[in-house]
């Protein structure tokens, strides 16, 4: 299928097809009188192990009527006016006919698998008679719809930060190590090595081919210590000559930023013993989560913060260049077992937090310990999500809005917290102000299915006209959350 993007340029070189951001100088003249297309994007960011109770704000309402909680403090300043916090969304009705929130067994895996699908994978497997199955996830409903399909080089992208192999709770690992499902039988596993993600973005290839020409050229560049910018330099000079002064400056800044991202991801990949170190065989895709030697904590070379910063930069690059409009981002696997010794523990109250000294333990044990260690790890992950949102908010689009304004960022988890309950889920939406969302509010609902949030987004924000999604064993009819909408 041909792409219908008309105002993007490609810089081509050996094994490279680098998509430029929007440049007005390259717009087709007949389009200048038309309103530019709004590139509607969706970015679900998965928070494992639920959240500490300090996630939820003490006050509700809009504007000055509500204040950020101590864990959501990183969304202060310019981001609070673009934030929605939703309380009392539940997904227990997917599992229990009485709508109760308790899951008897394998709560991490079963709730994690239902986060974007709103179905019980156990029930789907029983229906199909298969060892591995689930429902299609909301991000893939979007990616496969005509409103999205064919408009970008990559239909969607799945990325994450999890390095060690976390426990799968006795369930298929696709329930806790992936949140995206293209069909009931096709999990979309995340890419963890940032260099692998980078190669996809600069090669605009839907899947990595370790034996293909692009892969061979990438390997040569690494061996010669060359950048992708070197590969497209001649093409870039010709393109630059066609641009106006302001676009020339933007292109120069963009190429510099791509080089900076490349340097960052090569460093992180090397620390993870990933694609920067050795090119894999077709049977050994370079996902760090598949390696027994992947870092389980801070090492002399690996730092979780640098990994998150690199992935944030890649997501921003993918959206700025319109390489894809749907990205799912797992901050960790559900039941994460990474040791956060890179994070200083903080002391929390309902009003704020401050450095406490010492470092944080392994994530899953912290969830059960509760207290400041669990709150600190939740806060750190929130801070990385906020960093990404700020980055997206600095990128301006053709319609004058920021990338964040044209994106719904969903930050949330599959369970409440250490109680492993499937109600009172941590859920926040960031951005979407140019897509019809009412923002700057803490919305306290009367126990609503998570499914209703997804239907509201699919129909009222992305205009898909979807009549139903997921399952609700209580028999509750699908509904829209009108309080989220500005119109």
**Over the stretch 275-316, which tens digit does the pLDDT of each residue have?**
555 433 333 333 444 455 678 999 999 999 999 999 999 999
pLDDT number for residue 227:
85
162 secondary structure, DSSP code: -
Distance of alpha carbon 214 from alpha carbon 231, whole angstroms: 12
pLDDT number for residue 164:
84
Distance of alpha carbon 174 from alpha carbon 13, whole angstroms: 37
CB 60 within 8 A of CB 66: yes
CB 199 within 8 A of CB 218: yes
Distance of alpha carbon 471 from alpha carbon 371, whole angstroms: 34
Residues 6+ apart with CB under 8 A from 67: 57, 58, 59
pLDDT number for residue 285:
33
**What DSSP string describes 276-324?**
TT-PPPTTS---GGG-TTS-SS--SS--HHHHHHHHHHHHHHHHHTTS-
pLDDT tens digit sequence for 369-379: 999 999 999 99
pLDDT number for residue 329:
98
Structure tokens at 216: 């061979």
Q: What are phi and psi of 355, to 5 degrees?
A: -55, 140
Strand partners, 442: 61, 85
CB 195 within 8 A of CB 265: yes
Model pTM above 0.85: yes
How many other C-beta atoms can be found within 10 angstroms of the C-beta atom of residue 482?
10
**Exposure pattern of 313-342 as b/e (b: 16+ CB <10 Å)?**
bbbbbbbbbbbbbbbbbbbbbbbbbbbbeb
Class of domain 38-192+318-484: alpha beta
- At CB < 8 A and 24+ separation, what contacts does 121-126 make? 121/171, 121/172, 121/175, 122/171, 123/471, 124/184, 125/172
Measure the CA angle with vertex 230, ends 225 and 232; round to 5°.
145
pLDDT number for residue 218:
65
pLDDT less than 70: residues of the chain:
1-8, 27-36, 204-225, 274-293
pLDDT number for residue 197:
94
Q: What are phi and psi of 486, to 5 degrees?
A: -80, -25
What is the enclosing helix (H) or strand (E) of 220? helix 213-224
What is the enclosing helix (H) or strand (E) of 327? strand 327-330
Structure tokens at 287: 């996902």
Name the region of 238 (left: φ>0; alpha: ψ -120 to 50; beta: rest): alpha
pLDDT number for residue 170:
92
Strand 41-46 relative to strand 407-412, pairing: parallel
Distance of alpha carbon 334 from alpha carbon 109, whole angstroms: 7
DSSP reduced 3-state for 387: helix
pLDDT number for residue 91:
98
Distance of alpha carbon 358 from alpha carbon 347, whole angstroms: 11
For residue 121, what are the CA distances in angstroms to 40, 93, 287, 420? 29, 14, 24, 17
Distance of alpha carbon 392 from alpha carbon 319, whole angstroms: 8
């Amino acid at each position: 299928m041909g792409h219908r993007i008309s105002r993007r340029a490609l810089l081509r070189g050996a094994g490279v097809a680098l998509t430029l951001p929007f440049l007005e100088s390259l717009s087709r003249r007949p389009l200048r009188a038309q309103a530019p297309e709004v590139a509607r994007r969706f970015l679900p960011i998965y928070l494992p192990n639920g959240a500490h109770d300090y996630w939820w704000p003490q006050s509700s309402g809009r504007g000055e009527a509500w204040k950020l909680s101590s864990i959501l403090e990183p969304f202060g300043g310019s981001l609070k006016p673009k934030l929605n916090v939703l309380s009392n969304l539940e997904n227990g009705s997917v599992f229990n006919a009485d709508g109760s929130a308790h899951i008897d067994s394998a709560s991490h895996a079963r709730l994690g698998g239902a986060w974007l699908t709103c179905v019980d994978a156990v029930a789907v497997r029983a229906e199909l008679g298969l060892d591995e199955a689930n429902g299609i996830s909301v991000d893939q409903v979007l990616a496969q719809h005509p409103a999205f399909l064919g408009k970008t080089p990559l239909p969607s992208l799945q990325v994450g930060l999890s390095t060690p192999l976390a426990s799968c709770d006795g369930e298929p690992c696709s329930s806790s190590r992936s949140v995206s499902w293209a069909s009931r039988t096709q999990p979309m596993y995340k890419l963890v090595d940032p260099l692998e993600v980078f190669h996809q973005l600069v090669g605009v290839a839907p899947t990595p081919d370790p034996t293909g020409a692009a892969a061979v050229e990438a390997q040569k560049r690494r061996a010669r210590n060359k950048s992708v910018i070197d590969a497209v330099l001649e093409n870039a000079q010709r393109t630059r000559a066609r641009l106006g002064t302001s676009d020339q400056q933007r292109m120069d800044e963009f190429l510099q930023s791509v080089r900076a991202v490349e340097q960052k991801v090569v460093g992180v990949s090397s620390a993870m013993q990933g694609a920067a170190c050795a090119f894999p065989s077709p049977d050994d895709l370079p996902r760090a989560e598949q390696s027994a030697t992947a870092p389980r904590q801070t090492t002399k070379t690996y730092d979780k913060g640098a990994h998150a910063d690199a992935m944030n930069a890649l997501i921003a690059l993918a959206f700025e260049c319109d390489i894809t409009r749907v990205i799912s981002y797992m901050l960790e696997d559900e039941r994460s077992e990474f040791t956060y010794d890179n994070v200083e523990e903080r002391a929390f109250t309902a009003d704020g937090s401050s450095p406490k000294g010492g470092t944080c333990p392994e994530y899953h044990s912290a969830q059960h310990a509760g207290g400041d260690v669990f709150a600190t790890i939740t806060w750190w992950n929130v801070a990385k999500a906020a960093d990404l949102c700020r980055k997206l908010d600095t990128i301006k689009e053709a319609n004058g809005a920021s990338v964040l304004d044209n994106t719904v960022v969903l930050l949330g988890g599959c369970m409440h917290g250490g109680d492993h309950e499937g109600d009172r889920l941590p859920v926040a939406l960031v951005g979407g102000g140019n897509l019809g969302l009412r923002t700057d509010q803490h919305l306290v609902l009367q126990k609503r299915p998570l499914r209703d949030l997804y239907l509201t987004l699919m129909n009222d924000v992305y205009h898909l006209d979807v009549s139903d999604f997921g399952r609700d064993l209580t028999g509750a009819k699908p509904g829209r959350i009108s309080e989220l909408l500005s119109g």
